[in-house]
């Protein structure tokens, strides 16, 4: 199997060889996205198939599809078991739409024209500081999604792929049992909040997000006492958030915004939180200097798409101080994100 150099292995490889492999990794990413767009992994979930059969179901040119799958198989994404027949591998299984560890919707997003066009303007973004997505689409990302509901669903699916991986690990990293009222600020479809409430039956929760997001949320299945424990509230966290709770969660929210905007959100949480409450910020934290850290690439993603960015621990501490919070502890998670705990002062 062909393998790309890891950052650690790159130090022992010839510099030109290492850069070459990094450059062509963009081809691999595009090939993965195309396989997802064609739904190949789902076509193979019941067993191996010949590429000509796959091409019929995927509405693809047979020989071109074979070349795509042959290339991906050299990286362990699918496997050619006999001449022209392909089957799933553990890596390819992640491209199934219904797999427990699915990244299918993330691959759809990364292969979408609106996403690719933004990244194509990275050079201009770096030169001018202007958000690439806004230049490509002619409008900010939220306005774009409001006008393009199909692309919004792709984005929401991608976020659900990522959130399901993060949510499943939170309970091994943080104890929510002390909280009786939890507000998930900008909580989207409520996956995190409902998961917490199911694990901690004594707690109640408020899902807070824009009215358009709340309006498109799936209905929570009613169960005994559930309606008394969970409610959705529409609003704008730049104006105010629901008050009186003893826990406020900001998961993957602050990195969407510049420091001034993030500070406004934090101040609104500070105004709303109970005196003995806790603020929980769930974000990636940038590692120091030359240390390898995927968050530094995620930071470029935020630059390109929304003009926000990832932050260091010191930068989060400074933001919290500006909103009259004290950072008390940072909890690591096995997925790479951190839980930043802060209390009002």
Q: What is the pLDDT of residues 238-255, one digit of tens each?
A: 999 999 999 999 999 999
Query: Do residues 248 and 241 touch, judged by C-beta distance below 8 A?
Result: yes
Catalytic residue among 148, 189, 216, 255: 255
Query: Would you state the pLDDT for residue 286?
Result: 93
Residue of 244, 226, 252 whose CA lies nearest to 311: 252
Question: What's the average model confidence in pLDDT over 46-69?
Answer: 97
Flag whether pLDDT at 5 surpasses 60: no
CA distance 226 to 237: 25
Instruction: Give which of 87, 71, 91, 90 is closest to 79, Cα–Cα.
Output: 87
- Picking from 1, 41, 2, the residue whose alpha carbon sits closest to that of residue 24 is 2
Taking the model in full, what pTM does it have? Answer: 0.84
Euclidean distance between CA atoms 1 and 24, whole angstroms: 16
Q: How far apart are CA 325 and CA 317, in angstroms?
A: 9
Contacts of 216 (CB under 8 A, 6+ apart): none
pLDDT reported for residue 27: 96
Q: What whole-number distance in Å separates Cα of residue 301 and Cα of residue 295?
A: 10
User: Which pLDDT does position 162 carry in this prediction?
Assistant: 82
Work out the angle between the directed axes of helices 104-111 and 15-38 (0-180°, nearest 10): 110
CA distance 262 to 279: 14
Per DSSP, which regions of the chain are E strands?
Answer: 49-50, 79-82, 85-87, 181-185, 204-209, 230-234, 247-251, 278-283, 325-332, 338-344
Q: How many helices (H) and strands (E) does the chain have?
A: 18, 10
* Mean pLDDT of all residues in 64-74: 97
Give how far Cα 91 sits from Cα of 73, 75, 106, 217, 227, Å. Answer: 10, 9, 14, 31, 40
Model confidence pLDDT, tens digit, residues 273-308 = 999 999 999 999 998 888 888 899 999 999 999 999
> What tokens does 94 get?
């992640």
- How many whole angstroms separate alpha carbon 96 and alpha carbon 105? 9
- Please name each of the domains of the chain with its CATH number: 7-111 (1.10.10.10), 148-344 (3.40.50.150)
Asked if 148 is an active-site residue, the reply is: no
pLDDT tens digits, residue range 186-244? 998 888 898 899 889 999 999 999 898 888 776 655 455 677 899 999 999 999 999 99
- Measured between alpha carbons, how far is residue 83 from residues 33, 43, 123, 235 in Å? 24, 18, 43, 57
């Amino acid at each position: 199997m062909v393998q790309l150099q890891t950052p650690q292995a790159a130090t022992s490889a010839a510099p030109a060889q290492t850069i070459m492999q990094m450059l062509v990794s963009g081809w691999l990413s595009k090939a993965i996205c195309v396989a997802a767009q064609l739904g190949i992994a789902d076509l193979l979930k019941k067993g191996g198939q010949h590429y000509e059969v796959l091409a019929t179901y995927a509405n693809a040119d047979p020989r071109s599809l074979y070349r795509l799958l042959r290339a991906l198989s050299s990286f362990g994404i699918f496997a050619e078991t006999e001449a022209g027949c392909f089957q799933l591998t553990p890596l390819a299984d992640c491209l199934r739409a219904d797999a427990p560890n699915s990244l299918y919707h993330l691959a759809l997003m990364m292969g979408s024209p609106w996403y690719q066009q933004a990244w194509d303007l990275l050079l201009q973004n770096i030169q001018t500081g202007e958000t690439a997505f806004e230049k490509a689409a002619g409008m900010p990302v939220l306005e774009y999604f409001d006008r393009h509901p199909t692309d919004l669903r792709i984005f929401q699916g991608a976020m659900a792929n990522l959130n399901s991986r993060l949510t499943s690990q939170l309970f091994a990293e943080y104890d929510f049992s002390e909280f009786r009222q939890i507000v998930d600020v900008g909580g989207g479809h409520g996956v995190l909040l409902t998961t917490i409430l199911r694990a901690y039956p004594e707690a109640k929760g408020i899902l807070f997000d824009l009215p358009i997001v709340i309006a498109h949320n799936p209905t929570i299945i009613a169960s005994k006492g559930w309606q008394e424990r969970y409610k959705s509230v529409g609003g704008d966290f730049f104006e105010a958030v629901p008050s009186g709770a003893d826990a406020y969660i900001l998961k993957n929210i602050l990195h969407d915004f510049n420091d001034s905007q993030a500070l406004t959100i934090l101040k609104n949480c500070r105004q709303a939180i109970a005196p003995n409450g806790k603020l929980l910020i769930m974000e990636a934290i940038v590692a120091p200097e030359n240390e390898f850290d995927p968050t530094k690439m995620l930071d470029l993603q935020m630059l390109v798409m929304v003009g926000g960015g990832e932050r260091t621990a010191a930068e989060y501490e400074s933001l919290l101080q500006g909103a009259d919070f004290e950072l008390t502890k940072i909890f690591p998670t096995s997925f790479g994100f951190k839980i930043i705990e802060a209390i009002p002062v």
